[in-house]
Chains A and B, each alone.
Chain A
């Protein structure tokens, strides 16, 4: 074997570029919905503070959208450069699904997003609101195709196998499978919550600093309200997502639970350190029978362990075990912040400094949950790239040597570090300066997302 394993390096590279990418779509899907909501409120109430809040988040949205598009172009080529066997065998299914995503994103940018950037003053108010709603719908539709594609990779349906190639047979089953119907809402809610927590944190930040108080109150109250309503729904969707894993991907389920041997009734390992070599958990804290209840809803069900599966079909355990618990933990943080916020709000003490600090510090909870959730889903699917049909180790580009991938991986790390450091610095500056600063730098009429974000005079 090569000292540098092209499969492992390609996996790391894919994980790196996709983790970087998902931050932006997750944020922008939520922001688009948030902007449509706020614009709708502005239309309904006519209050100027909504217009100022809108204008401020519009800049953040434009910049995040641009960074999402740039990092998304890289994703469009990863399947071919590093996973050419996957691309060749499943291209007639994955190609159209991912193609539609690219086309959807483009349609959006070319049409209604253009109207949003062009500015409220140049079109009738109702049309501007419609444009905001269409952009929000478009971002959700974009994620629809990505989730349809990934859900098919998790639980492939609607295909037939011809000469080792996976050929589309029933597009309805491929696109609208039962797994997709659970995972797409789960992802959409995750995006809304990610943005909601960011909005809460931004509002809290300004209130702590005593600046832009009117705008900050709108952000804090709306954020707390939205997250408080959405998080219970998300926890329920998460439960349904767990059900699909339990039914269709029992090995992944066992890995998430670090259940090495089949148990009846099954215990739930709350936390511990899974020792993959020895096939047991160190320092584990577990609760008897709870595992059966979580998996099957009864206190005495039989739950399969990893020993049921041949070693070559078992996923890694440490990563899914911890990322799943991190995701759930972040969900609990969101639940705590939003419901505590509701409680304080009801008592008229929402601007309690201690609460504001907590809300401010919880800003990354959504991002962390999204990335941890995707790691659970993707690492848990191993050793398969298309579950049960194509192994990851057989999907890699055969001509690639380890050194080639090492070069590209280092390249991605360096380029992303430079470019995104600047991009994130801008987003930070926009958030820090807040809606109060309307520095008119130049007389530029922005035509493009980045230009809008950069220039002071937002639409």
Chain B
């Protein structure tokens, strides 16, 4: 079934929301992961300061994704969440714990508990998101428009590799963000991690690619869309840009090149999956809610709320642009 214009609009909204979420929450989850890799209190506090004005706005995009999916593509919502019942649970717990740790660590006592919680929550949230991508590449079994597998099907070698890959990838985004936002000791500390993390991520993704070939995961018909090969190529170039930026100590490069890498990786997956929303069972056209629902949503949320959310996001980043100096909190 061919998707209608409104269905394409909402699919595009969700695609944009996902990539914005991945990049924005990616860097603050990444900083959370790096937070667990040092015992230096001063560094830890600067890391928190570098993300504190942003993190809760970043997570709003997760709500945009969930709300838009349920409203515009209910069957995708109804298949995806049961298929990833355990990862979604872990994600929610991680985000809750991490969110309160942010505020409680200063004032609650039990500082060790909240510091650990912040690190573990960040790492687990990254891991389950990456694992879900791996499981999507393997395909999700669907029968009668419902998920037809078990709660632990997602746990396989490929998803574990992509999960670990995303932990490294988010940490890399986080390191790039710290380089961008800090000076002095913290910037040096972050610079030292950029190349290591980029290397680890590249190795994990190469292993994941091998695992995908080994499992004969259906790589769609990439041969039919050979133009799509431009995206993996772009990803490789972006990765070398990360290394170059770290070598020449250009403060903007590691973060921006990592963002480019994520955009290229996302586009690669989009080429692999299209027209499926749940690979390889449910397409955009099949999943779309009736036009009456899509247009009801469009006239309020699409035309009014989404632009405000976008403006708000941009506004926050403009207000808190530049280096962190003594903490802009």
A residues bordering B, Cβ < 8 Å? 70, 73-74, 76-77, 79-81, 84-85, 87-88, 90-96, 98-100, 102-103, 106-107, 110-111, 167-169, 171, 397-401, 404, 407-408, 411, 415, 419, 422-423, 441, 444-445, 447-448, 450-451, 454
Contacts and interface: CB of A to CB of B under 8 A. Distances in A.
Interface string B96-121: 11011011101110000000000000
B153 to A, nearest CB: 9
B71 A99 contact: yes
Contact of A171 (B52, B100, B296): B296
A411 B89 contact: yes
A103 B307 CA distance: 11
Grouping DSSP codes into helix (H, G, I), strand (E, B) and loop, the A interface class, with mixed when no group exceeds half, is helix
B312 interface: yes
Contacts of B170: none
Contacts of B289: 91-92, 95
Contacts of B296: 96, 168, 171
A162 B83 CA distance: 26
B82 A397 contact: yes
Interface of B: 52-53, 56-57, 59-60, 62-64, 66-68, 70-72, 74-75, 77-83, 85-86, 88-89, 92-93, 95-97, 99-100, 102-104, 106-108, 145-151, 289-290, 292-293, 296-297, 300-301, 305, 308-309, 312, 329
Given A91-B70, A91-B75, A167-B290, A81 B88 contact: yes
Given A84-B146, A169-B292, A106 B63 contact: yes
A113 to B, nearest CB: 11
Nearest to A446: B329
Given A88-B146, A422-B108, A450 B70 contact: no
A324 to B, nearest CB: 31
A157 to B, nearest CB: 15
7 contacts: A81-B81, A88-B75, A88-B78, A107-B309, A404-B151, A411-B93, A422-B108
B308 A111 contact: yes
A316 to B, nearest CB: 27
Given A408-B86, A415-B93, 16 more contacts: A76-B70, A77-B66, A79-B70, A84-B146, A85-B146, A93-B293, A95-B70, A103-B67, A103-B301, A399-B82, A407-B89, A408-B85, A423-B100, A450-B100, A450-B103, A454-B107
Contacts of A447: 52-53, 329
A318 to B, nearest CB: 31
A5 to B, nearest CB: 16
B92 A74 contact: yes
Contacts of A171: 292, 296
A171 B294 CA distance: 12
Grouping DSSP codes into helix (H, G, I), strand (E, B) and loop, the B interface class, with mixed when no group exceeds half, is helix
B14 to A, nearest CB: 12
Contacts of A401: 150-151
B100 A84 contact: no
A107 B82 contact: no
B151 A100 contact: no
A167 B288 CA distance: 12
B92 A80 contact: no
A415 B96 CA distance: 9
A423 B97 CA distance: 12
B293 A168 contact: yes
Nearest to A110: B312
Contacts of B52: 447-448, 451
Contacts of A80: 66, 70, 77-78, 80-82
A371 B79 CA distance: 31
Nearest to B312: A110
Contacts of A74: 92, 96
Nearest to A83: B78
Nearest to A73: B63
Nearest to A455: B107
Contacts of B68: 99
Contacts of B60: 106, 110
A415 B309 CA distance: 30
B304 to A, nearest CB: 8
Contacts of B150: 399, 401
